[in-house]
Structure 1
Amino acid sequence: MKLPDGATVAVVDGTKVKLFRNSGHEDTPSLTALPEPTVNQDNHGSGAGHHSSSANPDHGQLEEDSHSAGVAAMLNKAATTGTIKNLVVIASPRALGELRKHYSKPLSAVLDKEIAKDLTGHPIPEIEKAIAAA
């Protein structure tokens, strides 16, 4: 895919988020890392009604869902204020599913592409390749 000039790329999994900006051109993107954002995890994800117990020891999944909900809230705010004009989200499949539940209309309007792949620990050239192949 072509990545618009200045587009924001969010690379997300259940515990991390990395943001990049396309400082290159649409046909030859060059991702530049942005400062690591602060994610508020007080906004529990869709798993908020589930409780951990010995029969359902899923506290870690609740934390991951809360992280994804917090990332979506941060992206929603950025889309609403006009900070993000074009967005590509690359996320692990589970995190992407949770993110989608929390997208606002302004965020959906600037969302150019979603890629269901876990690339949070990968170098920038691999992220650029994944975008080019999408």
Structure 2
Amino acid sequence: MSAKLTKGTWVLIADGEKALILENQTDHENPYLTVLTKEEQENPPDREQSANRRGRMGDGGPGQGNMGQRSAYEDTDWHELAKDRFAADLADMLYKKAHKGAFDSIVIVASRQVLGEMRDKMHKEVSDKVIAEVPKVLTNHGLDEIETIVRDALDAK
């Protein structure tokens, strides 16, 4: 049985920095999505968030004593961390809304990375309401396109 967009079904459109929560006002055949809320996170490029130079440490290479070799620490990817944190914040916000009974079913449309991060952080109360996940980035698409893409993706499942 394939998932259907019923009246009142929420559709979350997200990437690592923006999210739209939409609600279907009609049926699956002719979905009409309206914007309930828009979330945005300021997430400058990593180069603007990180230190100028990698840290270094002596790693005491073979037979070299304490200061034999010098290795660079891996740079922290602040941009990716912010995207992961945004996905976790979305999962938390959905839990609060689900707990208040704001929605009965939801379709989550996001990149595979964001889907995975949200899935890891999602409370059972929300995951029980997820009728479909669509691994696409649609944050820069118009509502008409989103309606068609989501309906077609659900039909294909």
In structure 2, stretches of 5+ residues that fail to align are 42-50, 55-73
Tell me how many residue pairs correspond in the alignment: 123
Distance in 1 (CA, whole Å) between partners of 2:147 and 2:133 is: 14
Corresponding residue of 1:64: 83
Residue 74 of structure 1 corresponds to which residue in structure 2? 93
**Residue type matched to 2:95 in 1?**
N
Q: Secondary structure at the match of 2:109?
A: strand
- Percent of matched pairs sharing the same residue: 33
Within the alignment, does 1:123 sit opposite 2:142 as a pair?
yes
Q: Aligned match of 2:14 in 12, 23, 32?
A: 12
For residues 88 and 64 of structure 1, what CA distance do their matches in structure 2 show? 20
Is 1:97 equivalent to 2:99 in the alignment?
Answer: no
C-alpha change, 1:78 and 1:88, in structure 2 (3 Å) is same
The alignment partner of 2:128 has SS state of: helix
Match of 1:126, SS state, is helix
Q: Please report how far the alpha carbon of residue 56 of structure 1 lies from its aligned counterpart in structure 2 after TM superposition.
A: 2.1
Question: Any stretches of 5+ residues in structure 1 without a counterpart?
Answer: 40-51
Which residue type is aligned with residue 16 of structure 1?
A: K
User: Partners in 1 of 2:31 and 2:102 — Cα distance?
Assistant: 19
TM-score normalised to structure 2 length: 0.72
Which one has a bigger Cα radius of gyration? 2
**TM-score (norm. length: structure 1):** 0.83
Partner-residue secondary structure (3-state), 1:101: helix
Q: CA deviation at 1:7?
A: 0.7
Q: Could you give the per-residue CA deviations for residues 21-75 of structure 1, whole angstroms, max 9, x where no partner exists?
A: 1011232211011132488xxxxxxxxxxxx883324110000000000000001
Residues 123 and 10 (structure 1 numbering): CA distance in 2 closer, same or farther, change over 3 Å? Answer: same
- The change in CA–CA distance for 1:38 and 1:121 in structure 2 (over 3 A counts) is closer
**1:35 — aligned with what?**
37
Counterpart residue identity of residue 147, structure 2: E
